[in-house]
Structure 1
Amino acid sequence: MLAATSARPATAALAAALARRSLASAAAPPKVKSIINGEVFESSSNVWHKVVDPATQEVVCLVPESTKDEMEAAAKSAAETFKTWSKSTVLTRQKVMLDLQALIRRDTDLLAASITREQGKTLADARGDVFRGLQVVEHAAAMPTLQMGEHLPVATDMDTYTIRQPLGVTAGVCPFNFPAMIPLWMFPMATATGNTMVLKPSERDPSAAVHLVQLAHEAGLPNGAVNVIHGTHDAVNFVCDHPAIKAISFVGGDRAGKHIFARGTANGKRVQANLGAKNHAVILPDCNVNATLNALVGAAFGAAGQRCMALPVAIFVGKAREMIPELVERAKKLKVSAGCEPDTDVGPLISAAALQRAESIVADSEKLGARVVLDGRGIKVEKYPNGHFLGPTIVVQPAAKSLAETTQLPCYTEEIFAPVLTILEADTLDQALELINANKYGNGTAVFTNSGAAARKFAMEVDVGQVGINVPIPVPLPMFAFTGSRGSIQGDINFYGKSGVNFYTQIKTVTALWKAEDAVSSQANVVMPTMK
């Protein structure tokens, strides 16, 4: 595990060297640390999971299943620290965020190398992972403005005002695909508003989150403000059930998210759960062809398709279908290799199970009539024969007579989370909108066109939370909120931005009467106040 105090490398070259470093000669893989009440320690657990480099199958490190006592200690520490941290000034919390963002910049290369080694994404993409989380930290530094309440004189000598107060102990449960960005969606917003947190990183790539929490302590976050536990089902159920935890943030798959939402809300907790996605791109005939093709290739196959805002479905409208052969040719040119290799475009999938599942979905769709016009199954990467690689794959749905027929194949109905693009065809924009709005998910979508009228119609009529107009991955910057909708979220308050402040605070309304005449009058008023 990388130490938080390591100096930032002068260039990305050192990060690449770190990512390539083989651990095969090590006597034993290092053990990922836990953090409770500021203490960085090795768990006493007797259950440890292997964290494996997806490109080599080397064991990078071991991550524990935190013991019940350790999890209890984490919640207790967070509850005790809340008593004082919640009373800290907003300027104190702002300074921590300002210092934290500087430390993250210092250690970006180290964080990126860690992410590439454990998750498999390219170093450039790993740096982007860190940077998009860093932007949330920078936004959290604006908390003196973000946490302002409202004030109104409502009657003579009477004022009503609101105060945004922290909830208490919160929890964060993180996915594997963004080991830095998602933890930074959670604990900076939680602590900047005066809460404390119990954070559970993904057991598949936990080191970046541990590193970030160490940086937060270096920035001045008090001991116990963020405690890091590890594990799988037991750790998740612990945060759903523990009475001290008042709110849970989760990003990940449908099954876990629905479980956390149901169990957490049943225990009276506030829950925001970002779930699955099946984002569609609509390509109209009047689009800028070159820019559109580049955008589709990048959004469909970047990060090996392992992001909830990827574009796994493209709907070509009318003559736009003539672009499909060129799309295939551009996708063929992408380099598939380990994320640490220069110029890699598509890294490995996170696990053998993920690779097998993606290949099976493509095979099942092919049996049902889909055409695989670009097949990345069985790709061999010479230097990395054991990697979980799937090359860019493009599947074209067969012609159908109805909407139901169009959307019945597994490559469309399943969230594949791999570099697989499913192509549908439509005759009109209205048909494309019908397809998107019939899908159960509402995370993101994009339209490619040079028509302002078509773009506006699409933006107004599509039933999806985040819309891109000639923008393939419309993830909002942190001054806005991540606004996935419908089947892509459970809970009604979104991540970061003003929504994040709303999620991590509760509003208290105060009505105060300071009558000027009370300073001199001794006459009681027994009439019902009319507030004139």
Structure 2
Amino acid sequence: MTTTNEVTAAPHWVVPHWIDGAEYPSTSGRTAPVYDPALGVETKRVALADKAEIDAAVASAKAAFPGWSDLSLARRQAVVFKFRELLDARKGELAEIITSEHGKVLSDALGEISRGQEVVEFATGLAHHLKGEFSEQVSTGIDVYSTRQPLGVVGIISPFNFPAMVPAWFFPIAIAAGNTVVLKPSEKDPSAALWLAGLWKDAGLPDGVFTVLNGDKEAVDGLLEHPDVQAISFVGSTPIARYVYETGTRHGKRVQALGGAKNHMLVLPDADLDLTADSAINAGFGSAGERCMAISVVVAVEPVADELVSRIVDKMKTLRIGDGRRGCDMGPLVTGQHRDKVASYIDIAAQDGATVVVDGRDVRADGDANGFWLGPSLIDNVPTTSRVYTEEIFGPVLSVVRVPSYEAGVELINSGAFGNGTAIFTNDGGAARRFQKDIQVGMIGINVPIPVPVATFSFGGWRDSLFGDTKAHGAEGVKFFTRLKAITSRWLDPSHGGINLGFPEND
């Protein structure tokens, strides 16, 4: 494949920060390019924060915390409800922004927003999850009860692959619980975060409660080390997740750091092969494989592999690759540099003795010639010693590994460094039940290729896929963004509140 460097055009503007409820132009003098991946051109630049801007962002969030946390839960909930309604009405705008900077097709961008909105909807009912416990008369005249209270300023450091959904895993719960948030989006696609900040403003969120701090490693380190930041939520590659966890905890912060993945799909001989082939393609090539829950390895229990590979190849021929605004099935990768890195694994596979069945470097995309194109690639007979198997590729490269038995497949999955997600495809209920018990992975799908749990449950893996003890959203998300306080109480004399016949109201 002939690769091309990113083509630069005159940038239209510099994406600013959002501090104190308004766009905050940077004075650091540092910026980074933001590309339209389908065109291969720089369309804007993004500000990269310096120490003064990091301090300004955190100071704004800190100043907003007392007023927001003291506001009644009913009033906080009203703002979250309004945000939810505005997001539902205007999600098409956000999808277009995501497609223009990330490259995923519009339908996928809308799906991302919908999954993020699930957490917003979960947060609208947070009053239920913030309830404490109560024990009456634990000793004579003494009651004991508990409350959950917010932490203060919390930081969110999010990746490029889900510029709306991943931040939404965290900020709805953090805000509804009474915290203030500083979001550091990926510098590759920062505009979604700025749009979300404006939406919060329209929903009536007080200035300073939601802040966007654009930047690179300097901004990340600034949040990790800042004494006024109480907690950090992070999603990204495993090496950076480990760094974030170790640095944040060393500076006394509560940290949840979700890392990388190498997700397997175990296919038993009794599986529905058409369903399995469709699922492997959907989970392997959706969003150009730039998903931490993408299926990147099909583990085929013999003698099913040859037939399954044949069906996957036939179905891959129907995929249309191109500009996500043209109704295609799969868009480009996020940058030319990332595209070239992913494409290099195809050569590695051939060198390691694997069979390159479909080479995505030969793709003819429905889009500009300068776009960051790499078509879906299928590699069979991948040795488990190859880097194609051991490393997270984060692109549209699907590997097939053949094993002789169910037991060998489970052993292979459990021996990996990652434990994010996995799936089994079978029509045998007993085998599926055994799999969910045997497998040492955090999220499991049974005939479901991308087992991302709904917002009422919690998202996160095992081993090198999660650092920290708390997963994202659901009940564990509520625990992460609150502190538990126990109160022991004794009142010797009853008090009299006077007469008021009006119906009591929440305010």
* Interval containing the TM-score (normalised by the shorter chain): over 0.9
Within a 5 Å distance, the mapping from 1:418-433 to structure 2 comes to 418-433=395-410
Runs of 4+ off more than 4 Å: 24-28
Structure 1 counterpart of 2:249: 265
8 Å contact kept, 2:9–2:42: no
What is the one-letter code of the residue matched to 2:437? M
Q: CA offset at residue 169 of structure 1?
A: 0.6
Structure 2 counterpart of 1:57: 40
Q: 2: CA distance between counterparts of 1:379 and 1:324?
A: 19
The counterpart of 1:348, out of the listed 324, 332, 335, is 332
RMSD: 1.8
Within a 5 Å distance, the mapping from 1:142-221 to structure 2 comes to 142-153=125-136, 154-221=138-205
What is the one-letter code of the residue matched to 1:124? S
Within a 5 Å distance, the mapping from 1:218-237 to structure 2 comes to 218-237=202-221
8 Å contact kept, 1:97–1:141: yes
8 Å contact kept, 2:231–2:255: yes
Q: 1: CA distance between counterparts of 2:295 and 2:308?
A: 17
- Structure 1 pair 45–413 and aligned structure 2 pair: CA distance change class (3 A): same
Task: Give the match's secondary structure for 2:252.
Answer: coil
Q: CA offset at residue 310 of structure 1?
A: 0.5
Q: 2: CA distance between counterparts of 1:485 and 1:426?
A: 23
Structure 2 counterpart of 1:334: 319
Moved more, 147-156 or 277-286: 147-156
- Structure 1 pair 25–233 and aligned structure 2 pair: CA distance change class (3 A): closer
Q: 2: CA distance between counterparts of 1:409 and 1:28?
A: 41
Structure 2 counterpart of 1:393: 377
Q: 2: CA distance between counterparts of 1:25 and 1:296?
A: 36
8 Å contact kept, 1:157–1:516: no
Q: Percent identity of the aligned residues?
A: 42
Moved more, 308-317 or 85-94: 85-94
Within a 5 Å distance, the mapping from 1:493-504 to structure 2 comes to 493-504=470-481
Q: CA offset at residue 318 of structure 1?
A: 2.1
Q: CA offset at residue 35 of structure 1?
A: 1.0
Q: 2: CA distance between counterparts of 1:440 and 1:382?
A: 37
Structure 2 counterpart of 1:369: 353
Within a 5 Å distance, the mapping from 1:267-416 to structure 2 comes to 267-321=251-305, 322-342=307-327, 344-381=328-365, 383-397=367-381, 406-416=383-393
Q: 2: CA distance between counterparts of 1:101 and 1:198?
A: 20
Where do 5+ consecutive residues of structure 2 fail to align? 1-6, 495-507
Q: Deviations over 1:233-258 (max 9, x none)?
A: 10000001100001000011122211
Q: CA offset at residue 162 of structure 1?
A: 0.8
8 Å contact kept, 1:332–1:392: no
Q: CA offset at residue 515 of structure 1?
A: 5.0
Q: CA offset at residue 28 of structure 1?
A: 4.4
The counterpart of 1:478, out of the listed 455, 476, 480, is 455
8 Å contact kept, 2:31–2:48: yes
- TM-score when scaled to structure 1? 0.89
Structure 1 counterpart of 2:122: 139
Moved more, 318-327 or 106-115: 318-327
Structure 2 counterpart of 1:87: 70
- Structure 1 pair 468–383 and aligned structure 2 pair: CA distance change class (3 A): closer
What is the one-letter code of the residue matched to 2:310? P
The counterpart of 1:130, out of the listed 113, 135, 142, is 113
Moved more, 374-383 or 412-421: 374-383
The counterpart of 1:239, out of the listed 214, 223, 229, is 223
Task: Give the match's secondary structure for 1:107.
Answer: helix
- Structure 1 pair 160–382 and aligned structure 2 pair: CA distance change class (3 A): closer
2:12 matches 1:35: no
8 Å contact kept, 2:323–2:331: yes
Q: 2: CA distance between counterparts of 1:426 and 1:513?
A: 66
8 Å contact kept, 1:29–1:59: no
What is the one-letter code of the residue matched to 2:157? V
Task: Give the match's secondary structure for 1:415.
Answer: coil
- TM-score when scaled to structure 2? 0.93
Q: Deviations over 1:417-452 (max 9, x none)?
A: 111101011121111100000001011000011111
The counterpart of 2:432, out of the listed 455, 463, 468, is 455
Task: Give the match's secondary structure for 2:198.
Answer: helix
Within a 5 Å distance, the mapping from 1:241-256 to structure 2 comes to 241-256=225-240
Structure 2 counterpart of 1:523: none
8 Å contact kept, 1:60–1:117: no
Q: 2: CA distance between counterparts of 1:471 and 1:277?
A: 17
Q: 1: CA distance between counterparts of 2:465 and 2:235?
A: 10
Q: CA offset at residue 328 of structure 1?
A: 1.3
8 Å contact kept, 2:11–2:42: no
Moved more, 179-188 or 116-125: 179-188
Q: Deviations over 1:456-505 (max 9, x none)?
A: 00001100000000100010010000031111010110100001000000
Moved more, 318-327 or 421-430: 318-327
Q: Deviations over 1:305-358 (max 9, x none)?
A: 00000000001112221221111111122111111112x111111111211111
8 Å contact kept, 2:185–2:214: yes
The counterpart of 1:442, out of the listed 413, 419, 427, is 419
Q: Deviations over 1:183-203 (max 9, x none)?
A: 111221111111111111110
- Structure 1 pair 127–159 and aligned structure 2 pair: CA distance change class (3 A): same
Task: Give the match's secondary structure for 1:377.
Answer: helix
Structure 2 counterpart of 1:115: 98
Task: Give the match's secondary structure for 2:360.
Answer: coil
Q: 2: CA distance between counterparts of 1:419 and 1:25?
A: 25
Task: Give the match's secondary structure for 1:86.
Answer: helix
Q: Deviations over 1:497-528 (max 9, x none)?
A: 001000000100111123579xxxxxxxxxxx
2:46 matches 1:69: no
